[in-house]
Amino acid sequence: MNKEFERQFQELNQKQKEIVLADGGPILVIAGAGSGKTKVLTFRIAYLVNEKKLDPSRIVAMTFTNKAAGEMKERVNGLIGKMINLWIGTFHSIFARMLRQEAPSAGYGKDFSIYDTDDQLRLIKSIIENNKISVDQYSAKSVLDEISRAKNNLVSPDAYRDSARSYFEEIVSKIYHEYVSNLQKNNAFDFDDLITVPLRIFSANKEILEKYQNRFRYILVDEFQDTNRAQYLLLRYLVGEERNIFVVGDDDQSIYRWRGADIRNILDFEKDFPDAKIFRMEQNYRSTQNILAAANSLVSYNRSRREKNLWSNREPGEKVTLIEVENERSEAKAVVEKIKDEVFKNKRSFQDFAILYRTNAQSRVLEDQIRQSGMSYIIVGGLRFYERKEIKDILAYLKLITNSRDDISLKRIINFPQRGIGQRTLEKVQNWSSSKGMSMFESLRDINSISDISQSIKDKILSFYKLIKKYIDLKDTISPNELVHALVDEISILKMYKEEGTIEAQERAANIRELLSAVSEYARRSETPSLSGFLEEVSLITDIDSWDDRANAITLMTLHSAKGLEFPVVLITGLEEDLLPIAQSREDQGRLEEERRLFYVGLTRAKDKVYLFTSQRRSLFEDVRSRLPSRFIDEIEPEVVQRINYLHKNNRQKSHEKRLYDCCDHHPDYENFSQEESDVTVGTWVFHQKYGKGRVVKINRVGKEIKISVKFGDNDIRKFIASYTKFTIL
């Protein structure tokens, strides 16, 4: 046995060892929060390779995020002592990879595009327009959600039409048919297709199925409770004769039912594999006893769950602190104060803290207060890098270059940067190309045969055609890195933003430069870099994947994003009815239980200390509402909760802040940052050469730059980058 493996193996508990060493065949592990399931999963893989001499390339492991996949890969390599070629990734990335090979058997080209939500919505909107479908008050978004639900439940457009009852369902049915055929015409998959198309291929094509059954002799699945029906069926297909399938999950942490995750999968597993060995891991290594007692008592209110007895060897620790505040601003202040307390008294670093909330919208007020306090922080989620307009524009070029049938991407960029090709022209091209059954890109080539377009516009179209064509011809001869750089250079997008001169444009340019370095990084890292490979990676990246967990910063994220992570101190905000549980779940027992699990996931992220916040009032779209405390608060065993009332507290504690500056030698980040910003804060009066006297209304930190917004006498708010602008502080 490998030495490193041997040494670390001895540290596992008896149950964990037993699971790692279990014989082949189907295995279901019910693993409570913090019980070391990732550990068991990695040891199992290492054991299969080291001891069972299984060829690593024949093992496939499904994780919930790419980040988790990366970490698992690293840990397995550490245990084995060398780099091995494992298939680890999310369901979506693994099957996207498979589709690169097998898409032709489903009638798609190998260079398919992957459409994200934004692309999907554009497609749906164009379908509604082109077919003059009257959608009444229904939004494209609600149509998309409905289509996605149908797809994940494996309801085909025809089956959907046959069962459509309401007016809404009839509209959706029409759009669904068009949507599916348009995707195929554009040679594009949406996220759901990455799961359902492989499923179709497997059921229709025995040869391909057997190829993958032979290839994957061992399948492991993490976070099994959050797989949906289609994913489960996919697994069932893939499991070959040896039936080596190993799934790990926790029904109490199932929080993606709204996305189609199906708790039945755990139950059906035992039905489909009656000889499955079932293990339970109930010892929690993460949390103190008080935290665990809080979590256990809460989740025991759920009716549809498996009984379990999660226990901890750790000390009782501190009680869970519940803080009642007046409104969201005082909540944010209280959060900041508690973090400062912990930093000061318990010598904690910023990366020890996570602030969790139900909705992304809650982050803004928290962010404002933390920024003012001078502490460093990272927000996970919100507007993602790859969803920014300028990034999507460049990516649309790349998509069109790899897949010229991608009409959605073409429409996005044919007039970006502006080339004088407008809506009307585009309509004519689209009509012509659909009457000829050609892609829009193909019809550009023959633009001269379309009447009714002026010659000058035709020339512009042709030069756009030649631009893209040039890169299509280049793409197999030069590296993706060179191609993207050359392209960005040729369309002089950076220059355009530079000339625009506004802060927004500068940011956009900076984002594009970051994209360029991402391509270089990809080219360096990948063994066989290709444009489609880069696009695929980019399309499937998630918020949490790009979260830098080594930075010394407080992390702000949604409860959903926090799944699978742990922090010494967790602060959960917004414990109010209609927020947690969210309003839409009120009438539905099942959804209510999911909200409870969401809170449970939040609690069980904490190692040492939990703070809970509930506010009497909270504004929603500028409209202040009174709120009731969350019903979940009373479901926590009262003995482990300590309540603090902050309702009449004056939170301006200057003296306290002053002390903090002296205390933090162990936080160089903190010190630098505080000093950097200490002279200008919101409310400071400043004098600007050109605009005169004004007052700072906002300070924003973006990367290394600090942006400040100043309101001048004429009530105009102007934004500046602090290091470029000279102000006199008044």
Write down the catalytic residue from 223, 226, 507, 593. 223
Q: Does 372 bind DNA (CB under 7 A)?
A: no
Q: Which residues pair with 228 in a beta bridge?
A: 261
Q: Does 636 bind DNA (CB under 7 A)?
A: no
Q: Which residue has the tokens 């549809």?
A: 304
Which residue stretch of 5-13, 24-32, 355-363, 402-410 sits at the interface with DNA (rule: CB under 7 A)?
Answer: 355-363
Which residue stretch of 274-282, 314-322, 519-527, 615-623 sits at the interface with DNA (rule: CB under 7 A)?
Answer: 615-623
Write down the catalytic residue from 217, 563, 605, 618. 605
* Encoded tokens for 595: 């909200």
Which residue stretch of 103-111, 154-162, 582-590, 604-612 sits at the interface with DNA (rule: CB under 7 A)?
Answer: 582-590
Size of the site for DNA (CB under 7 A): 46
Least distance (Å) from DNA to the CB of residue 479? 27
Least distance (Å) from DNA to the CB of residue 12? 29
DSSP-based three-state secondary structure for 577: coil
Q: Do 342 and 550 touch, CB atoms closer than 8 A?
A: no
Least distance (Å) from DNA to the CB of residue 605? 14
Concerning whether 111 is annotated as a catalytic residue, the answer is: no
Q: Residue 43 or 87: which CB sits closer to DNA?
A: 87
Q: Does 377 bind DNA (CB under 7 A)?
A: no
Q: Residue 458 or 643: which CB sits closer to DNA?
A: 458
Q: Does 90 bind DNA (CB under 7 A)?
A: yes
Binding-site string for DNA from residue 529 to residue 548, where x marks contact by CB under 7 A and - marks none: -----------x-xxx----
Q: Residue 273 or 357: which CB sits closer to DNA?
A: 357
Q: Of these, 307, 621, 648, 655, which contacts DNA (CB under 7 A)?
A: 621
Phi/psi at 426 (5° precision): -60, -40
Write down the catalytic residue from 15, 16, 38, 576. 38
Q: Of these, 22, 582, 663, 680, which contacts DNA (CB under 7 A)?
A: 582
- Taking CA atoms, 293 is separated from 249, 359, 499, 608, 648, in Å, by 21, 26, 60, 13, 30
Q: Residue 139 or 163: which CB sits closer to DNA?
A: 139
Q: Do 488 and 516 touch, CB atoms closer than 8 A?
A: yes
Near DNA in 185-244, by CB under 7 A: 191-192
Concerning whether 223 is annotated as a catalytic residue, the answer is: yes
* Encoded tokens for 266: 């755990």
Binding-site string for DNA from residue 240 to residue 269, where x marks contact by CB under 7 A and - marks none: ------------------xx----------
Q: Does 590 bind DNA (CB under 7 A)?
A: no
Q: Residue 167 or 258: which CB sits closer to DNA?
A: 258
Least distance (Å) from DNA to the CB of residue 423? 5
- Taking CA atoms, 107 is separated from 64, 103, 383, 433, 535, in Å, by 29, 7, 34, 20, 21
Query: How far apart, in whole angstroms, are the C-alpha atoms of residue 616 and residue 182?
Result: 49
* Encoded tokens for 585: 């779940």
**Cα–Cα–Cα angle for 511, 516, 518, nearest 5°?**
90
* Encoded tokens for 123: 């497609």
Q: Does 620 bind DNA (CB under 7 A)?
A: yes
Q: Do 43 and 53 touch, CB atoms closer than 8 A?
A: no
Q: Does 361 bind DNA (CB under 7 A)?
A: yes
Query: How far apart, in whole angstroms, are the C-alpha atoms of residue 115 and residue 109?
Result: 15
Binding-site string for DNA from residue 395 to residue 424, where x marks contact by CB under 7 A and - marks none: --------------------x--xxxxxxx
Q: Do 248 and 41 touch, CB atoms closer than 8 A?
A: yes
**CB-count exposure of residue 550 (10 Å: 0-12, 13-18, 19+):** exposed
Which residue stretch of 204-212, 242-250, 371-379, 555-563 sits at the interface with DNA (rule: CB under 7 A)?
Answer: 555-563
Check residue 336 and report its DSSP letter.
H
Which residue stretch of 88-96, 199-207, 264-272, 521-529 sits at the interface with DNA (rule: CB under 7 A)?
Answer: 88-96
Near DNA in 488-517, by CB under 7 A: none
Q: Does 72 bind DNA (CB under 7 A)?
A: no
Query: How far apart, in whole angstroms, are the C-alpha atoms of residue 43 and residue 685?
Result: 60
Q: Do 227 and 268 touch, CB atoms closer than 8 A?
A: no
Q: Residue 180 or 486: which CB sits closer to DNA?
A: 180
Q: Does 702 bind DNA (CB under 7 A)?
A: no
Strands 617-620 and 554-558: unpaired
**Strand blocks (E) in 135-267:** 188-190, 218-221, 245-249
Q: Does 70 bind DNA (CB under 7 A)?
A: no
Q: Of these, 9, 43, 91, 246, which contacts DNA (CB under 7 A)?
A: 91
How far, in whole angstroms, is CA 342 from its chain's centroid?
Answer: 29
Which residue stretch of 8-16, 299-307, 513-521, 579-587 sits at the interface with DNA (rule: CB under 7 A)?
Answer: 579-587
Q: Which pairs with CB-CB distance under 8 Å and at least 24 residues apart come from 468-473?
A: 468/397, 468/400, 468/401, 468/404, 468/441, 469/445, 471/397, 471/401, 472/401, 472/404
Residue 424: CB atoms within 10 A of its CB come to 11
* Encoded tokens for 408: 């959605």
Q: Of these, 85, 163, 214, 584, which contacts DNA (CB under 7 A)?
A: 584
- Quote the crossing angle between the two packed helices 193-204 and 229-238, to the nearest 10°: 40
Q: Of these, 113, 182, 360, 615, which contacts DNA (CB under 7 A)?
A: 360
Q: Residue 438 or 496: which CB sits closer to DNA?
A: 496
Q: Of these, 403, 561, 573, 674, which contacts DNA (CB under 7 A)?
A: 561
**Strand blocks (E) in 597-676:** 606-615, 617-620, 623-626, 641-645
Near DNA in 319-348, by CB under 7 A: none
Least distance (Å) from DNA to the CB of residue 357? 9
- Taking CA atoms, 579 is separated from 359, 555, 566, 617, 627, in Å, by 8, 20, 23, 12, 9
Least distance (Å) from DNA to the CB of residue 117? 5
Query: How far apart, in whole angstroms, are the C-alpha atoms of residue 148 and residue 139?
Result: 14
Query: How far apart, in whole angstroms, are the C-alpha atoms of residue 113 and residue 183?
Result: 9
Least distance (Å) from DNA to the CB of residue 430? 13
Say which amino acid occupies 636: I
Handedness of CA 622, 627, 631, 637 (dihedral sign): positive
Counted residue by residue, the chain has a size of 730
Q: Of these, 457, 467, 510, 682, which contacts DNA (CB under 7 A)?
A: 457
Least distance (Å) from DNA to the CB of residue 358? 7
Q: Of these, 231, 284, 312, 558, which contacts DNA (CB under 7 A)?
A: 558
Check residue 105 and report its DSSP letter.
G
Q: Residue 621 or 724: which CB sits closer to DNA?
A: 621
Least distance (Å) from DNA to the CB of residue 49? 26
Phi/psi at 692 (5° precision): 85, -145
Q: Does 81 bind DNA (CB under 7 A)?
A: no
Concerning whether 508 is annotated as a catalytic residue, the answer is: no
Q: Identify which of 553, 622, 73 has the alpha carbon closest to the alpha carbon of residue 354.
A: 553
Concerning whether 253 is annotated as a catalytic residue, the answer is: yes
Q: Does 351 bind DNA (CB under 7 A)?
A: no
Write down the catalytic residue from 196, 253, 351, 362. 253
Q: Which positions touch DNA (CB under 7 A)?
A: 64-65, 90-93, 116-117, 125, 139, 141, 191-192, 258-259, 358-361, 381, 389, 415, 418-425, 457, 540, 542-544, 558, 560-561, 582-585, 620-622, 698
Catalytic positions are 37-38, 222-223, 253, 605
